[in-house]
Copies of this chain bind each other. A is one copy, B any other.
Amino acid sequence: MRVFICGFGTVGQGLCEVLADRAQFFLDRYGEPVIVTGAMDSRTFILAPQGIAPLDLVARKKGSGRVGDESYTDSTAVLEQAEYDILVEVSPTDVKTGGAGLVNITYALNHGKDVITVNKGPLALKFCELISLARKNKCKLRFEGSVAGAMPIINLCHENLKGERISSIRGIFNGTCNFILSKMDKGQPFEQALKEAQQMGYAETDPTNDIEGYDSACKVAILANSIFGRNVTFNDVKITGITGITDEAVAMAASRNMVIRLIGEISETRLEVGPRLVPKGHPLSISGTLNTALIQADLAGPITITGRGAGRIETASAILSDLIAIMDERRNRR
């Protein structure tokens, strides 16, 4: 199986480490290796039709800051030359236009290639178009890692719960906000908790995307389209962030044995991100940087899944699960 990797930041590098580590797993399971036939970062690319060791790509990037020797201006011109069965799209996300990710995913699907992505922008903006394109060209488009990193919510709903009617999903989809709110539970003021999140590397220097709820809203849009078959974008989500949450509000919640959490809510009719009161001991009351989702199914009842919503290897693990699913399906089709 030949894989080309678009985007070579932390997730692309993490994926290469995972592919190197699981080389024997693929040989044992499929009798063939996963071959990385090239990669590109934002400026450079490398083509290796016979394959290049994933760890060599990581070493190149770490050594020179570039994954490739050659520069490009048009990523589709690179993809045109590349030889691959599956495109892994992990370039930086752009929630305004979809950015390079949207271009690359569209190109690959148009050329009959399966795609695995964790890139929220294209999915939060053009989900239905991309799914239609994949169907039209009989390709797979998988995106487990786009929502809540290593926490397997999308595949859980589509595979384990496929006989259920899911009426709603409510969840914590941003670990940075949850870290801040957990610190506020312990009496830290918002500004200090945010500063600590930045020092720990959870929040960016400009934390707007997290604390204003935009990142959570992308995930809400993806889940609405993917699990509920809706046709919405990021712009349809009603969003309230956590910047308005006062110490007094947190203390008031605590006095009622509750915590405040930033909850994304999706149903047939609902599409919201906002702070909510959650009773302590409730599955959505978790603390720290974890992500969680409470899936309301008609037969199974409430099912909650919790896991790491971010991280280099964690996000790569979601890509691995999509890769295995695609390879399983190809094997079964033979």
Does B299 contact A18, Cβ atoms closer than 8 Å? yes
Does A281 contact B182, Cβ atoms closer than 8 Å? yes
Nearest B-chain residue to A329, judged by Cβ: B332
Q: Among the listed stretches A101-109, A126-134, A219-227, A282-290, which one makes contact with chain B, having 4 or more residues with CB under 8 Å of it?
A: A282-290
Q: Which residues of B contact A283 (CB under 8 A)?
A: 283, 286, 290, 292, 306
Q: Which residues of B contact A323 (CB under 8 A)?
A: 163
With known contacts A283-B290, A286-B281, A317–B302 Cβ distance under 8 A: no
Q: Determine whether A155 belongs to the interface, using a CB cutoff of 8 Å to chain B.
A: yes
With known contacts A304-B307, A316-B299, A160–B150 Cβ distance under 8 A: no
Q: Which residues of B contact A18 (CB under 8 A)?
A: 299
With known contacts A152-B303, A299-B150, A160–B163 Cβ distance under 8 A: no
Does B162 contact A324, Cβ atoms closer than 8 Å? yes
Q: Give residues of chain A (145-187) contacting chain B, Cβ–Cβ below 8 Å.
A: 150-152, 155-156, 159-164, 182, 185
**A150 partner, pick from B285, B301, B306, B329, beta carbons under 8 A:** B301
With known contacts A280-B280, A307-B301, A161–B156 Cβ distance under 8 A: no
Contact flags A291-334 to B (C-beta < 8 A → 1, else 0): 01000010111111111100101101110110110000100110
Nearest B-chain residue to A21, judged by Cβ: B299
Give, as a whole number of angstroms, the nearest-CB distance from A282 to chain B.
Answer: 8
Does B155 contact A300, Cβ atoms closer than 8 Å? no
Interface of A is mostly: mixed
Q: Determine whether A72 belongs to the interface, using a CB cutoff of 8 Å to chain B.
A: no
Does B313 contact A299, Cβ atoms closer than 8 Å? yes
Tell me the number of copies of this protein. 2
Q: Which residues of B contact A300 (CB under 8 A)?
A: 150-152, 307-308, 314, 317-318
Q: Which residues of B contact A313 (CB under 8 A)?
A: 299
Q: Which residues of B contact A329 (CB under 8 A)?
A: 332
Q: Determine whether A22 belongs to the interface, using a CB cutoff of 8 Å to chain B.
A: yes
Give, as a whole number of angstroms, the nearest-CB distance from A296 to chain B.
Answer: 11
Does B156 contact A152, Cβ atoms closer than 8 Å? yes
Q: Measured between alpha carbons, how far is A332 from B164 in the docked complex, in Å?
A: 21
**Chain A interface residues toward B at CB < 8 A:** 18, 22, 25, 150-152, 155-156, 159-164, 182, 185, 280-283, 285-288, 290, 292, 297, 299-308, 311, 313-314, 316-318, 320-321, 323-324, 329, 332-333
Known: A150-B303, A282-B286. 11 other contacts (CB 8 A): A150-B301, A163-B323, A163-B324, A281-B285, A281-B286, A283-B292, A299-B317, A299-B320, A300-B317, A302-B306, A304-B304
User: What are 17 A-B contacts with C-beta separation under 8 Å?
Assistant: A150-B297, A155-B159, A156-B160, A162-B324, A163-B320, A163-B321, A164-B317, A281-B287, A281-B288, A299-B313, A299-B317, A301-B307, A302-B308, A304-B304, A304-B306, A305-B306, A332-B332
- Name the 9 nearest CB pairs between A and B, nearest first: A299-B317, A281-B287, A150-B300, A304-B306, A152-B160, A300-B317, A303-B307, A163-B320, A332-B332
